[in-house]
Amino acid sequence: MNTLQKFIAGFLLILILILTNMFANLFSWKLDFTDSKLFTLSKGSRLLIEKLEEPVDFDFYFSRSVQGLPISFKNYGTRVEEMLRQFESAANGMIRLNIINPKPDTEEEEAATQAGVNGSLLSNGQQLFFGLAMTQADNQEAISVFDYRKEEFLEYDIAKALYTVQQWDKPTIGLISGLPVVGTPQYFPGQQPQSADWVFVEQLRQTFEITQINSAGDWPAVIDVLMVVHPQNLDDELLFEIDQYLLEGKPAFIAVDPSSYFMKAQQNPQNMMMMMGQPPQGVSSNLRQLFTAYGIDFNDMELLVDSEYAALVSSQSGRIQMPTWLNLGAESLNTNEFILSQLDSLLMVEPGSFGKTEESNLEIIPLIQSSPRAGKLFAMLANQISPAQMASQINASGDPLTIAGFVRGTLNTAFPDGKPQPPSEEGDEEVTPPAPPLTDASYLSESAAPSNLFLIADSDWLQDQFSVQRLNFLGVTAFQPLNDNLNLLRNTIEFMSGSQDLISIRPRGNSIRPFKVVDEIERQAQVEYQQKLDELNREVQEFEESIRQLLSQQGEGNSLIITPELQAKIDELNKNASAKRGQRREVRKKLREQVESLGFSLALANLTVIPGLVFLSGILFFIRRHHRK
């Protein structure tokens, strides 16, 4: 091969590399070898995209050029942009992505604010815009800010906004409640309501239409989420409607309770704690007929007792730890689930627990659990003994008990004979024998789709007094959250009101992965030097304490007499303390040098290993060709 041929071959090689890079950018081909498939859209997101009927504009506002922007924000901005491009690529023209850098005092900055993307003030006084606005026809939905702490939920947040922007009407909640959660209407213009909505109902009304269901005749034509709160004395016709709804695989939120604090307070408002008093009657709720058929094990006569999570409550004898009132932190929550990912404080009042029966094939995904030391206590007995005696009355199984969770699987109907016959009206003179149950060929005997049921064994956590504090400012009532109770409700209802495609999207991993080997080496180095550092710190403190004692002993009134002997001792102590500080700095320096040396070695390996392998491959290829000649 002559010189001209070598130049031509080199030119063609460079041209091939350029064209390959251009085609790769054009078709966005990627190979995703990450553990959690961080850079591959899930099936749920793709199904949502396939159902788009009109184009959607994605306006991604990111102040990438702002001065002083931390590198972590720039990296996460690139991560978000890559995810948005995946949505655009999968949509075949139905999603149009616009990358916008809103600079100060520009139309882009004003458009971001109007779209609901809020600017955050940085320490240097500049505003950072980092959010997304979606527009489909006249509908608009915004993610006001992308939080890097929620990276594992990035795909879900974008998919949720994409689903929401396509909704033209508010989703409908069908509400069945044995508690007065919905306020009574006003009777005359200007008259105050006899009772107001509970705060959780008031908040849900902002994004949902709420339809109360008191009987089977009230059942609406469309329900996006069924919400059953503390059900009591439901007739068979209404239970049948609930049964058929659940068997269709539609989303349902059910809160049952072995002991409603609200109803106890109604019976005995003077003695709220009911300590050593008579047991209340009729304060529990259950869907026993349905649960038995489905294979759900819930006993409405048993309370959950957990001394480890016991809350401090006020009683006649002062503040005491009540093991039937539970303060639940992040350690008791399944934070891998979307609805609990950002929650860390819940309050449950006299909750129960549930599981599945031995013969059941259901899957229960625990969301909220007790500690392993928890046990069950007969609800009637709880009002006869003191909190200190409760722990001795339970037998802890050693496993956490489930307070709330998702119930998945196939359900069998609780009405195998079909739709029940309506009860005969009172006052009929002629007594007729009971007719057989009405049958309907269209009723479901088992699940048509896997169940989508959220079940929680408490209802008191929804009460205003256990979730919010009412504030009055200049005649305006506001609410300050006491915990994450209402956040849990809102997250759950919003999550379940989404499509099945949306619910199927699971949390992903984080693109910023820790170097476990490096961390372990750093920990070992820290242990190695920490003992020496502790010893030096102790010696320095002893010298400094000796100096303070000498100075305090020589004081006379407001003056300080320093003799030559005292000055010599102080100088010697200062000299020794300075020497020890120097040794301490040297130890810290060695620790830093070891960590930095490790980092340099890793960086050098990253930069040289692959090029080195390519170089060696080229040498071997050249040698083999040379030997063939």
What span, in angstroms and rounded, lies between the C-alpha atoms of 237 and 235?
Answer: 6
Q: Are residues 498 and 372 in the same domain?
A: yes
Q: How far is CA 290 from CA 175, 238, 240, in A?
A: 18, 12, 9
> In terms of domains, do 477 and 575 share one?
no
Backbone angles phi, psi at 229, to 5 degrees: -120, 115
Decide if 341 is inside a domain. yes
Instruction: Say whether both 101 and 216 belong to one domain.
Output: no
Cα-Cα-Cα-Cα torsion 147, 148, 151, 153, nearest 10 degrees, comes to -10
Q: What is the pLDDT of residue 558?
A: 47
What is the SS3 assignment for 190? coil
pLDDT of residue 276: 47
Using alpha carbons, list the distances in angstroms from residue 384 to 59, 160, 271, 622. Answer: 62, 49, 14, 90
Same-domain check for residues 378 and 235: yes
Long-range contacts of 597-602 (CB under 8 A, 24+ apart): 598/518, 598/521, 598/522, 599/518, 602/515, 602/518
User: How confident is the model at residue 521, as a pLDDT?
Assistant: 56
Same domain? 238 vs 356: yes
Tokens 């107001």 belong to residue: 196
- Residue 2 covered by a domain: yes
Q: What is the CATH number of the domain that holds 150?
A: 3.40.30.10
User: Which CATH number fits the domain that encloses residue 223?
Assistant: 3.40.50
pLDDT (0 to 100) of residue 263 = 92
Per-residue pLDDT at 563: 62
Do residue 335 and residue 362 come from a single domain?
yes
Q: What is residue 103's predicted lDDT score, i.e. its pLDDT?
A: 87
The answer to whether position 436 is within a domain reads: no
Residue 555: the pLDDT is 52
pLDDT at 435: 47
Asked if 393 and 245 sit in the same domain, the reply is yes
Residues 493 and 589 in one domain: no
Angle, CA of 587, 590 and 595, to the nearest 5°: 130
The reply to whether 453 and 597 lie within a common domain is no
Same-domain check for residues 522 and 496: no
Residue 439 domain flag: no
Q: Are residues 286 and 202 in the same domain?
A: yes
Q: Are residues 543 and 606 in the same domain?
A: yes
Residue 426 lies in a domain: no
What Å distances lie between residue 237 and 217, 221, 244, 414, 419, CA to CA? 9, 16, 11, 12, 7
> Does 92 reside within a domain?
yes
* Domain total in the chain: 4
Which pLDDT belongs to residue 26? Answer: 56
Consecutive H or E run containing 516: helix 516-553
Helix (H, G, I), strand (E, B) or coil at 310: strand
> Is residue 37, in this structure, part of any structural domain at all?
no
The answer to pTM > 0.75 is no
For the chain, 629 residues long, the average pLDDT of each consecutive 10-residue run is: 71 75 59 61 88 94 86 88 93 94 89 88 83 92 86 86 86 95 69 76 89 94 95 95 96 96 80 52 92 96 93 77 92 88 89 94 95 91 82 82 96 93 62 50 86 96 91 65 91 83 64 54 57 66 70 55 65 71 70 65 68 74 70
Distance CA 160, CA 167 (A): 11
Written in H, E and C, the secondary structure of 564-599 is HHHHHHHHHHHHHHHHHHHHHHHHHHHHHHHHHHHH
Range of the domain at 570: 517-628
pLDDT, position 274: 45
Residue 429, in any domain of the structure: no
